[in-house]
Amino acid sequence: MIKPIQANRVASRTILYILLVIVLLFMAFPIYYMVITSLKTPSEAYRLPPTLWPQTLTVESYPFVIEAWSYWRTLANTILVAGTAALAATILGGISAYGFSRMEFPGKAILYGMLVATIAIPGMVTLGPIFLAYKDLPLLDTHMGLILVFAAEFIPVAFLTMFSYFKAIPKELDEASAVDGSRLIDTMFRIIFPIALPGFAVTFLLLFIAGWNDFLFAFTLTITPDTRLLTVRLFEVPVREGVNRTPYDLIAAGGVLILLPLIPILLRVQRQLVEGVLAGAVKE
Amino acid sequence: MIGSHMLMAALEKQMASVSINDVQKRYGSYHALKGVSTQMADGEFVVLVGPSGCGKSTLLRMLAGLESISEGTIEIGSRVVNDLRPKDRDVALVFQNYALYPHMTVEQNMSYALKLMNTPKSVINEKVGNAARILNITELLKRYPRQLSGGQRQRVAMGRAIVRDPQVFLFDEPLSNLDAKLRVQMRAEIKQLHQRLKTTVVYVTHDQVEAMTMADKIVVMRDGIIEQVGSPIELFDRPRNTFVAGFIGSPSMNFIPGSVKDGLFVARAGVHLPLPDGARVDAVTYGIRPEHLKLGEAGFPADVIVIEPMGSSTQIIAKVAETVITVLSTERLALQPGSTIYLTPHVESVHLFDPGGQRIES
């Protein structure tokens, strides 16, 4: 005999799991479909209705995309641009966030408001002016140009993330450090920043992924193949000679090649990401 | 040479008095400290005590250099420290929440200040080792703060202060986060430590028991001013006003309102209380400590409200002339709530206060 309360609990659990599975399917299916399509032959990839499992497994599309994209070169470009921008933004945003979290100064509220407001400005709005300015500077079609734009876009985000993280670190630690004989710079780099390291790591990785995913700026501000990033390459669909239809298998393989390098990072930091996004609390 | 060096060190130590001269603190329009002056001798254990918001922590933080001084001066040794940064004041502060660096081991926590001063590694090891031995935490040196219990963290926080060998130790409610039993134990340990190190201590607490048991000198504060300064016994025996009288001593002193007539103190409902010889006629408050009321067959009547047996003594809450009072008796009593008891005050221990709440000296 199952008691009513227990039965109730089992029922609600079951419903919860069913909902979770549905959500998971929604999120995972496109990825699954991308992966299997990349493993199909060109003709099967084009077939309607589509097959849910390749009839002929082949990895033939991969070497083609790697070759056509100069994949390794493009991958290095992407890591360089996303990595440098994320690192710069994390450090600069972190330092300013520390100042805002600990100090009072005239105009603080206004500066804070302006910094946060910049997040709300759509990229499309600034794209044109930046393009024109870059043409004259000249930063157009350079990695430095992309890094600057990405970093500028990322700094407010890094600032906000690190600001809440620093807020959660008790002020007494700064004070203890000051009484112990620290200068401000000692307190920052020897006490508070090491404690905030998980926050810095999470911020960096989130921004790195954001940089990895950016298309708009990367597409507009680069021209030659040498400076292109992965997402832009995906837009420039590679075609096989003499084939006059959309190469779904190649697009899918490209998608996998963009996603694949992120997976080890995501797996490694998944736990920290969840914790870092939910709370910056520091164990006292 | 060594002899003169030691003499120098001894002289330097002797200079570690603290002088607070008409110090004020304003936060915008809020006047947190309204002109506070007191002197602390070298090696003295001074407790700043008062209810929350009285300014005691602010004063301590001003001593440490964590708050600016709006007006007045603070001297440590012979130096005015108003404009010195915390690092240049040669004071150590123990925080209520310990403020241990969570990413450092106990050893690293304790040696951090010395490292900043570029102290040689061998000296650091020796000092940390010594402090750890004094505090009995040698086996914890390699652990991280999160692996320690509350009492152990408290010890580490003190160790971090001791290795510095500062001119003044500052404690900001260091025992508030500990459970009752540990608090009593650490209280004795801090006092013992002071007897051993003989360094000036300024200790902030809201707990008058801590103040009484630990202090050489107590500074009672309220609303940004000092109400009274004195040894625990002075404050207990001769409180300057009703606030100090009510704050110091546990259970608190009883205050019975009334007036003086014909050599007796007449409370409401016609209750007559005995007065010491030559009591002034302007007394309107009759103060008597719970332990100075004797139960007996004679005396003034009181209605028992609650009886609280505490083992070694019994606390009786009773009502006299519309005033609730506390009586402390060391006898085993067979009383019931509602019964009437008769009380005789120990006349020598009566405190009288004028309409302004100030003590009337008899």
Report pLDDT for B1.
42
Chain A with chain B: Cβ pairs closer than 8 A: 61
* Res A220 pLDDT > 70: yes
Q: Distance, in angstroms, between B152 CA and closest chain A CA?
A: 14
Report pLDDT for A284.
38
Chain A CB within 8 Å of residue B160 CB: yes
Which residue, chain included where needed, has tokens 């100064």? A105
Work out the pLDDT band at B5, boundaries 50, 70, 90: low
* Res B6 pLDDT > 80: no
Report pLDDT for A274.
66
ipTM of the complex: 0.83
CB burial of B305-329 (b: ≥16 within 10 Å; e: otherwise) equals: eebeeeeeebebbbebbebebbbbb
CB burial of A108-139 (b: ≥16 within 10 Å; e: otherwise) equals: eeeeeeebeeeeeeeeeebbeebeeebeeeeb
Report pLDDT for B62.
94
SS3 call for B277: coil
Question: How is B146-198 classified by DSSP, letter by letter?
Answer: GGS-HHHHHHHHHHHHHTT--SEEEEESTTTTS-HHHHHHHHHHHHHHHHHH-
Work out the pLDDT band at A7, boundaries 50, 70, 90: confident
Task: Give A177's contacts in chain B (Cβ within 8 Å).
Answer: 101, 112
Task: Give A178's contacts in chain B (Cβ within 8 Å).
Answer: 65-66, 85-87
8 Å CB contact between B285 and B257: yes
Interval B217-232: pLDDT, tens:
999 999 999 999 999 9
Q: State phi, psi for B166 to the nearest 5 degrees.
A: -80, 170
Q: Distance, in angstroms, between A200 CA and closest chain B CA?
A: 15
The span from the CA of B186 to the CA of B171, in Å, is 13
Q: Which residues pair with A268 in a beta bridge?
A: none
How many CA atoms does the CB half-sphere of A102 hold within 13 Å? 22
8 Å CB contact between B154 and B186: yes
Residues in chain B: 362
Separation of CA B12 from chain center: 27
Burial environment of residue B115 by CB neighbours within 10 A (0 to 12, 13 to 18, 19 or more): middle
8 Å CB contact between A203 and A162: yes
Q: Distance, in angstroms, between B121 CA and closest chain A CA?
A: 17
Report pLDDT for B2.
46
Q: Distance, in angstroms, between A100 CA and closest chain B CA?
A: 18
Task: Give B65's contacts in chain A (Cβ within 8 Å).
Answer: 178-179
Chain A CB within 8 Å of residue B103 CB: yes
Angle at alpha carbon of residue B24, lines to B19 and B29, rounded to 5°: 170
Angle between helices A61-69 and A71-102 (to 10 degrees): 70
Q: A275-279, B118-122, B144-148, B225-229: lowest mean pLDDT where?
A: A275-279
- Return the biggest CA–CA distance within chain B: 78
CB contact (8 A) between residue A172 and residue B85: no
CB contact (8 A) between residue A180 and residue B65: no
Show contacts of A254-260: CB within 8 Å, 24+ apart. Answer: A254/A65, A254/A69, A255/A34, A255/A38, A256/A34, A256/A35, A256/A38, A257/A62, A257/A65, A257/A66, A257/A69, A257/A71, A257/A230, A258/A212, A258/A230, A258/A231, A258/A234, A259/A31, A259/A34
Chain B CB within 8 Å of residue A138 CB: no
Q: Distance, in angstroms, between A88 CA and closest chain B CA?
A: 24
Q: Distance, in angstroms, between A170 CA and closest chain B CA?
A: 8
Which residues lie below 8 Å from residue B216, measured CB to CB, with a gap of 6+? B44, B45, B46, B231
- The single-letter DSSP state of residue A53 is S
* Res B327 pLDDT > 70: yes
* Mean pLDDT of all residues belonging to chain B: 90
Q: A53-57, A279-283, B49-53, B176-180: lowest mean pLDDT where?
A: A279-283
Interval A179-191: pLDDT, tens:
999 999 999 999 9
Work out the pLDDT band at B3, boundaries 50, 70, 90: very low
Report pLDDT for A51.
83
* Res A149 pLDDT > 50: yes
* Strands B314-320 and B323-329, bridge-based pairing: antiparallel
Interval B57-96: pLDDT, tens:
999 999 999 999 999 999 998 899 999 999 899 999 999 9
CA distance to A191, A218, B302, B315, per residue, from B336 (Å): 61, 87, 13, 13
Burial environment of residue B21 by CB neighbours within 10 A (0 to 12, 13 to 18, 19 or more): middle
Mean pLDDT of A45-53: 83
For A190, the token pair is 């020897």
CB contact (8 A) between residue B93 and residue A186: no
* Res A119 pLDDT > 90: no
* Res A258 pLDDT > 80: yes
8 Å CB contact between A134 and A145: yes
Chain B CB within 8 Å of residue A184 CB: no
Work out the pLDDT band at A52, boundaries 50, 70, 90: confident
Which residues lie below 8 Å from residue B1, measured CB to CB, with a gap of 6+? none
CB contact (8 A) between residue A282 and residue B93: no
Report pLDDT for A1.
56
Q: Which residues pair with B327 in a beta bridge?
A: B316
CA distance to B150, B152, B170, per residue, from B158 (Å): 13, 10, 10
Nearest CA in chain B to A170: B99
A interface mutation test: which of B62, B89, B111, B116 has the most A CBs within 10 A? B116
* Strands B18-27 and B71-76, bridge-based pairing: antiparallel
* Res B233 pLDDT > 70: yes
Q: What is the CA radius of gyration of chain A?
A: 24
SS3 call for A224: coil
Which residues lie below 8 Å from residue B172, measured CB to CB, with a gap of 6+? B57, B60, B61, B93, B94, B95, B96, B204
